[in-house]
A and B are shown apart, each in its own frame.
Chain A
Amino acid sequence: MAQRRRLEVQEKGEVTIVRFVDRKILDESNIQELGQELFQLVEEENRKNLLLDFTNVEFLSSAALGKLITLDKKVKLHGGRLKLSGIRPQIYEVFAITKLNKLFDIKDDEADALAAF
């Protein structure tokens, strides 16, 4: 079983729910580790449908956004789907400024996101 330090992973039917351990996603070395753990879910564990739950996240930097964009590409390449949920208003503002709210499928909460797969 994969060792994870930055993520908590839960199976729900055909969807893998991913929760972030860190409240603040900004430390560069943590972001590298976070990216590796996210990519591993797709590339090594062949998980198709990912739901990223941001309920715990209070802060994230542009470097973290970069990892999410790369993850989105990898999920699409593997024929899967990626959805985001539980994004608090300040974090959503970051997605809106960067127009990444158009790139990502963002739902209000986990239940909405699960229903949309």
Chain B
Amino acid sequence: MSQPSWAWSADLNIPSAYAAGKSVIDQLLAALRRAQWTEHEIFGVHLAVEEALVNAIRHGNGLDENKTVSVHFRLAPDRLRVEISDEGTGFDPKQLPDPTETDNIECPCGRGVLLMRNFMNRVEYNDRGNRVVMEKERDGKRASA
């Protein structure tokens, strides 16, 4: 079995601080630009990874800089795979209220996961809910949320 050849990859462990998250995203965006992803593709990936990282740093690890967020990027010519995990107790994404429903539309929270599902082709959480794997295919069809 041959290993896939990645155009770029990174395995990063960062403290639970927003500045550390920004540095991670800057590395990813630079790699996508080098690989000539379109601005629209980059916008969607940027938003999804931003939301997932903020969730891990704030909700997962509670901004505790002694806790680590692990980030793994795998970039191939036709797709990107992102895995982000935190040390929190996790959550059940199925229990999130639908923020687009009339009763919830004025609630200021709960849109991050919705945006992740719309801008990426695949978004899956582990059973505990403290690790998310997202994939984006270039010119791929959007998976149903």
Contact = CB atoms under 8 A, between A and B. Distances in A.
Contacts of A103: 105-106
Residue among B99, B111, B114 with the highest chain A CB neighbour number at 10 A: B111
A69 B104 CA distance: 11
Given A62-B115, A63-B54, A69-B108, 11 more contacts: A28-B54, A59-B43, A61-B47, A61-B51, A61-B112, A66-B108, A67-B108, A98-B100, A100-B105, A103-B105, A103-B106
Nearest to A96: B118
Contact of B46 (A27, A28, A59, A102): A59
Nearest to B19: A27
Interface string A46-71: 00000000000001011101110110
Contact of B99 (A27, A29, A98): A98
A62 B111 contact: yes
Q: How large is the interface on A (under 10, 10 to 19, 20 to 34, 35 or more residues)?
A: 20 to 34
Interface of B: 18, 22, 39-40, 43, 46-47, 50-51, 54, 58, 99-100, 105-109, 111-112, 114-115, 118
Interface string A69-102: 1101100000000000000001000100111101
Contact of B115 (A72, A98, A102): A98
Nearest to B25: A26
Contact of B18 (A28, A69, A102): A28
B108 A70 contact: yes
Contact of A69 (B22, B39, B47, B107): B107
Contacts of B58: 28
A94 B50 contact: no
Nearest to A62: B111
Given A26-B50, A69-B107, A103-B105, A90 B43 contact: yes
A29 B51 CA distance: 15
Given A97-B115, A98-B111, A59 B106 contact: no
A36 B109 CA distance: 17
A59 B25 CA distance: 14
A45 to B, nearest CB: 22
B23 to A, nearest CB: 13
